[in-house]
A and B are shown apart, each in its own frame.
Chain A
Amino acid sequence: QQQVKQSPQSLIVQKGGISIINCAYENTAFDYFPWYQQFPGKGPALLIAIRPDVSEKKEGRFTISFNKSAKQFSLHIMDSQPGDSATYFCAVFLSPYGGATNKLIFGTGTLLAVQP
């Protein structure tokens, strides 16, 4: 069963525009929500992460918005640049208190293309 649903599968944005990627989860025991960025031919790399005690975290042009009641979190890329073109993965961490142990579960990924 898919514990985290990511959308859209692909996204095309014009340079300077806002890119928005969404993730929804079901298990309220998740307590760590990172986003990873992957360029072609490379391994994923941590972009930004949030914990459920805050509703928003911003790092430069990248912002995570977290809605605990709706069990959703999203990545916003402001002023999108061609260099942001990559695959983005959300992930959730299931704490040991949630019935499972130390598992990091990834979404299916979003391929972002920023057109110049």
Chain B
Amino acid sequence: EAQVTQNPRYLITVTGKKLTVTCSQNMNHEYMSWYRQDPGLGLRQIYYSMNVEVTDKGDVPEGYKVSRKEKRNFPLILESPSPNQTSLYFCASSLSPRVEQYFGPGTRLTVT
């Protein structure tokens, strides 16, 4: 089944404790991206990647890191999480940014 998977689905952590949210797709897509969803703000792009080893900032990259060492994986790293990073996070992939984005199921992160 073609899909985007994210882990974990739910995470509660404390301020400053490094964490990684994994994202994997099995559709051989080149374009991958991370979004955060907050009430009233919609979906905001954090980082995106056009291909392996090619990443770029979205609209809200502060406090986040990404890497793209393999085509199928695009982990999101929070080196020192803060409460303002409490949000719902989505990973997405597609053949290119101008076609359908396939979204993962989301990761709900709470930073206390």
Contact = CB atoms under 8 A, between A and B. Distances in A.
Interface of A: 6, 9, 31-32, 34, 36, 41-46, 49, 89, 91, 93, 101-109
Contacts of B50: 102
Contacts of B98: 31-32, 93
Contact of A105 (B4, B45, B90, B104): B45
B56 A108 contact: no
A43 B43 CA distance: 11
Interface of B: 4, 31, 33, 35, 40-45, 48, 50, 56, 58-59, 90, 92, 97-98, 100-101, 103-106
B111 to A, nearest CB: 21
A42 B45 CA distance: 17
A93 to B, nearest CB: 6
A104 B100 CA distance: 11
A107 B42 contact: yes
A45 B12 CA distance: 26
18 contacts: A6-B42, A31-B98, A32-B98, A34-B100, A36-B101, A41-B106, A43-B4, A44-B43, A44-B90, A49-B100, A89-B42, A91-B43, A102-B50, A103-B97, A104-B48, A104-B101, A106-B44, A108-B40
Contacts of A36: 101
A93 B103 contact: no
B67 to A, nearest CB: 18
Contacts of B41: 108
A45 B3 CA distance: 12
B48 A103 contact: yes
Contacts of B97: 93, 102-104
A55 B33 CA distance: 29
B9 to A, nearest CB: 10
A102 B56 contact: yes
Nearest to A32: B98
A64 B11 CA distance: 37
A107 B12 CA distance: 28
B45 A43 contact: no
